[in-house]
Structure 1
């Protein structure tokens, strides 16, 4: 009996052992899946390695789940390309719809991260087709769809998809799904520039992801809060959240998130003007990483921050270099975005084509089934199907032809001027560069002509813009007919035209003579308009070795034609450079915002001068060098710790050396050249003493911007304006009944002329001096004029006592409003403000 019991027990163990073993394997697979989302990827990888010896006992589904976790970990560790290929192989296998949708979600995100947009959108469409089989996984895939549509600029669609995902997941108890859906919702609002709304979603994401135990998405939420705080100028908060996010990303092993967070931390340090060396190191490491990843958008953002950091440190040369790198990277990022958008549209088009093909195949299947019941009916339906197929093919052919025509039309419009139908400025330069290089390579002559209509503004003012447009249209037609195939012709802008010829100056002069012979009056609305043209010619030579220089020299010749009386042609070889009017000096002001404030007179002086010096902000310098590449940057004379008086002497000497040499010199200074500027007055005075013609052209000053931005009329109370250190050093008494302006307040008390930053001691001394006349709570304003159209002026209001703790730039101005009411002179009656709008005062 005992033997029989033992035998029965052994048989029972043999039967139950595989089941116990399988249960044990399933629990280990489930544990690996949980660790993949709640711990560092290395932990789940260790569990996978430990399970390798039992790989043969895994079911197909278990093997697929383990492989999915392994490939996801590979992507987190930085091996996105290898992981993507593995995910593609895994998706080619048969598996349950629920698991397939999970794998699709990860594969799509990895494909998007390495910009494999064709796969990303193809897999998205495939994944959506499996949702009817596993509707409980709809929120996950809807969130992924929202992420992709965010990246291709479909912001509204992305927000709609993310909202659908959130609504669907909130009806369940899937905490992990809520974590992911809230993250996609926050990202969609971020890209829609709804920063405060996005920040609220990020806080909800952090709570949900903590409950789900997902450290990567918790860190991602904190990174999102930091980024949104920075976008709303709360940089101290951004710094705090960013440090937490960076620490958690590094702990979770998610490299991509850590690098993005370093950018937010660096931006907060730069704006807050603290620990700039740390910000420099963060940006240098981040730029190196993104260059290795070839991520143009991230490179552009990093270079922008490096430019701001360099400007903060006063290194304008580096700031401009980084700004150029940022612009180059932005252009590459825009090209990537266009390619991404094109891929999205192509996949959408292919999907619709497949749907139409499937519909046609289904129709054919139905026709085949009907054939069994009636041959004649089958023939009739077959004929109908063929007609439908032909109609569809015809429709597609028509649509494709129309699409090709539209693309050709849009391309033509992007390359031509709509009024004259000649090439536009960009296309002339693009085609001209190639033609110029061919001519130089083959040793052929190449000539540039720049021409415009004489007194074109008078044509518009006297006869209307319709007459001016008609004159431009006819002139464009005549130019196109005369140039033909022998050159490139285009409208440069306004009434100016550029012609590039494969030939010498004699051919150019012949062409202009023929063109002038064709010019005839034009009639518009009964008015006859007569006009003529002036032109400048330059043939490529040892001086004009680039197309840019060639066109510039032709443009200078055009200016000489204007000065010599108009309706004529001037060649650059007609007179030696600088021989027309002799030497001279003109000092001009660039204004505060060069693009808005610079006058036509100022631009004309810059173009006409033989030598151009610039002491402006980097943005104005870049604009000037775009049409005067030879412009000399006087900012190079400044250096940290160098006495500014020595710098002024060196700038003075550099300008006067060219003036004394008999050249036409134009010196461009920031704002108004005669306000708070010693060098402009000094060089004008020295040139006049030497008998050289010299003059100063005014510009828009920071003081003029201040009155406009703050809404202050200096005529109401009067104004007292002086430099802050001058006010401290001398016994100056402020007029408290009027407006007081103290300039360069950051440099208060600096008698060494070597500082470029604020020091608390100097600011405290200034406040103590002002407290002799003003109460501590008197409201003052720290003002900085906007230097770019996209910026806003700074107007920070605060009590006088808080000035030492405020933020300062070298150009910050202290505005002290009047104290109390005006008091009339003894024996005088009440005084009303004069009505200066009615008539000018004598």
Structure 2
């Protein structure tokens, strides 16, 4: 978008060209100037070519005007460097002040476009000095000055300059000058993030530039309206404006402008969640274009849009990858921004010094008439000025050196682990991706090693955390010594290390043997201890598609080394290990809060499986991805308005496809996988029917959380637990003397299996049926388990009659406390009231089973 604005500013220089009517060739020169504004640049170039045999007949000023048009066309066509050289030579010629200011305007824009900020600000200061000779050109130079201040972060100054330029042309009769001035104000408002004001100015720009007949600035205005519409949440309107802008830019031959408008189209499609394939195609093409142009800010914007697109599709891994690319491009763009700011400050500094020197010269004239005292004062002032200049230079040098050192230190810290001084996880993967790709291209072997310290927790428990840190630090040093420059080594996290080598598995085994020999006892605070390490090796084969897959296989080999007794090396490529692996299915429950409820068995199954498929909440899925980045999200099969039965069939098919492919599969389901869940039971049954080992590991369910949170013992009165729609549709009668739980109450009456929200009619039907057994004022509870440690569970108490107007989530559970008294079938009395949380009294009841009273 920056390049769109920067090149478009070139058009400012052609508004209001002076009239020259004393030469027979003047009409042709004027026509060339006109075409340079209203037509494709190739047309003005064609006219210049046609006029070239008569160039000697033109006056010097006319030749300067024609050359100006030619150089400006070079800039629009993308040959900025050649155009800048030509404009610098043109500025050395003698020409009228008005024409010179227009040349400065174009030269400044092109210098900014190629990010030569010192030259841009230098030319700006030179151009401003000519304004007293040609005040009618001040609005255009103020416009380009506003543009430069926008891109050094001086948004307030940029807005002030743009408004001054607008005020100077608003009352005039030059439509083209008004067109440009309105565009300058719109740009300043946009970068000040005043989006509504910027949109209003962009609409005024379209009107003004339409009257002026300038197609490029009309297109720029349309693109600006589209961009403001999308950031204000109107993607459909933005899509229409951006489409018009693309057509206008293409007609004018303005390539950079068209690409900027295409980004707006892509963002609008993403925000409106439609034609996502088209958005992806546009963004991929734009990314290639901006990378070729080295436009890092535009690359960052494009990568961010690709990340949002991947997130829309549920592809979290792709989204994270694009966000990383966007961060990298943003860092480069920030470096460019710092260079712009430094150039601006340097020019400001130089300007201040010039003003100071002028003041000193004036003081010298006045002091020349004074006696010795005045002379001494003048010398003192000169010394003070030079001292200030020297001090400023010293401070600037110190700050720059400190900034360089800090930047180098922060970069090192961002890439290395502070304890072991090896690469951190992110840097190992970044360098490893490049090395893996290079090895694949060259046909050389590539091997991954994953190693960790055996029983590291015992080292911390027995000898203290200082000993654990020293063990990690020593192991990191030994790994660094052993590897040398042969590979990439880093700490993956905790006591785990990753080593990547451009070598085969045998060479990796030899290297690990040297490492084992290097390990020696460690002494910390007078305590001497030693430790062993276990390692997994995997050499990339033809079926290894990614580095992630290779490291995962090495990680699985490490787990086998642990299970086989520790202090050993296991190679994932061994035929025996490969033969030992067979197809199997285990279904595990993540619990309601994965971080608290996931059992060690559940975590072990997730780590050791070849394929992990998850149907869990986003928080649990993110935690699983931390140690199993290859985990597949089954939630992508859900869609608004889609029949959930079809979704269940698709999830069933996805799991069984991996099982039938001969892989060890772990399917992770929210809560308890066997409670109110159809798919887990079905896939276990299917696998067993096909002779494939399959089992289910329990998890903590919402019902278990309910008993704990509400303080309910189901053994006191008994429990009826039913799905709400099942209870509503079938002839089911509640046991009012006991506890009744109705699950998924928000979906009551939904037989289409497509609804994900509560509807009043279904809830009212449920209340009407319950009123057969319970009074309208009977207190019930709407319960929701807490999904995060920072949350609290929901237990809203309300009368039965108020259920249709309550707030619901898809997972809200209706708890109906007991009503009335238990009937004593022994005939020993009228009955006893069972104990219920919050009751006034609790009488002893007979035990329901042997040992029940001990609970």
Q: Does 1:140 align with 2:143?
A: yes
Alignment of 1:195-594 (within 5 A): 197-203=194-200, 206-207=203-204, 210=207, 215-216=218-219, 218-230=221-233, 237-240=234-237, 242-243=239-240, 246-247=243-244, 250=247, 255-256=258-259, 258-270=261-273, 276=274, 281=278, 284=281, 288=285, 291=288, 296-297=299-300, 299-300=302-303, 303-304=306-307, 306-307=309-310, 311=313, 320=315, 333-343=326-336, 345=338, 409=409, 412-429=412-429, 448-460=448-460, 465-484=465-484, 488-499=488-499, 504=507, 507-508=510-511, 510-516=513-519, 518-523=520-525, 528=527, 530=529, 532-538=531-537, 540=539, 551-570=551-570, 572=572, 576-577=576-577, 585-589=585-589
Contact 2:583 2:692 (C-alpha < 8 Å) held by counterparts: no
Distance 1:668 1:129, change over 3 A: farther
Alignment of 1:76-95 (within 5 A): 80-82=77-79, 85-86=82-83, 89-90=86-87, 92-94=89-91, 95=95
Contact 1:505 1:539 (C-alpha < 8 Å) held by counterparts: no
Cα distance per residue 1:489-523 (max 9 Å; x no partner): 4322221123456663662453244233x132322
Distance 1:411 1:673, change over 3 A: same
Q: For 1:147 and 1:179, locate their aligned partners in 2 and report how far apart those are by CA, in whole Å.
A: 15
Secondary structure at the counterpart of residue 81 of structure 1: coil
Distance 1:44 1:458, change over 3 A: same
Q: For 1:784 and 1:828, locate their aligned partners in 2 and report how far apart those are by CA, in whole Å.
A: 28
Distance 1:747 1:184, change over 3 A: farther
Q: For 1:786 and 1:68, locate their aligned partners in 2 and report how far apart those are by CA, in whole Å.
A: 68
Aligned counterpart, 1:189? 192
> For structure 1, which segment, 623-632 or 498-507, has the greater mean C-alpha deviation from structure 2 after superposition?
623-632
Secondary structure at the counterpart of residue 576 of structure 1: helix
Distance 1:393 1:603, change over 3 A: same
Cα distance per residue 1:566-586 (max 9 Å; x no partner): 455555578932787998643
Distance 1:203 1:392, change over 3 A: closer
Distance 1:447 1:421, change over 3 A: same
Secondary structure at the counterpart of residue 185 of structure 2: helix
Q: Does 1:742 align with 2:756?
A: no
Distance 1:166 1:680, change over 3 A: same
1:680: Cα distance to partner? 1.6
Contact 1:613 1:634 (C-alpha < 8 Å) held by counterparts: yes
Contact 2:118 2:343 (C-alpha < 8 Å) held by counterparts: no
Gaps of 5+ in 1: 1-17, 150-156, 191-196, 231-236, 271-275, 312-318, 371-385, 752-756, 790-798
Cα distance per residue 1:459-498 (max 9 Å; x no partner): 5567664443233223323443455566654322221123
Aligned counterpart, 2:668? 668
1:51: Cα distance to partner? 14
1:98: Cα distance to partner? 5.7
The count of aligned residue pairs is 718
1:179: Cα distance to partner? 2.1
Q: For 2:744 and 2:580, locate their aligned partners in 1 and report how far apart those are by CA, in whole Å.
A: 45
Distance 1:785 1:444, change over 3 A: same
Distance 1:749 1:764, change over 3 A: farther
Aligned counterpart, 2:696? 695
Cα distance per residue 1:415-436 (max 9 Å; x no partner): 4322112233344456667777
- Structure-1-length-normalised TM-score: 0.62
Secondary structure at the counterpart of residue 93 of structure 1: helix
Q: For 2:45 and 2:517, locate their aligned partners in 1 and report how far apart those are by CA, in whole Å.
A: 86
Contact 1:745 1:813 (C-alpha < 8 Å) held by counterparts: yes
Aligned counterpart, 2:847? none
Q: Does 1:813 align with 2:814?
A: no
Q: For 2:459 and 2:696, locate their aligned partners in 1 and report how far apart those are by CA, in whole Å.
A: 32
Distance 1:594 1:142, change over 3 A: farther
Contact 2:572 2:578 (C-alpha < 8 Å) held by counterparts: no
Alignment of 1:746-761 (within 5 A): 748-750=750-752
Alignment of 1:26-175 (within 5 A): 80-82=77-79, 85-86=82-83, 89-90=86-87, 92-94=89-91, 95=95, 117-119=114-116, 122-134=119-131, 136-137=138-139, 139-149=142-152, 157-166=153-162, 168-169=164-165, 172=168, 174=170
Contact 1:45 1:70 (C-alpha < 8 Å) held by counterparts: no
> For structure 1, which segment, 139-148 or 635-644, has the greater mean C-alpha deviation from structure 2 after superposition?
635-644
Contact 2:760 2:805 (C-alpha < 8 Å) held by counterparts: no
- Structure-2-length-normalised TM-score: 0.62
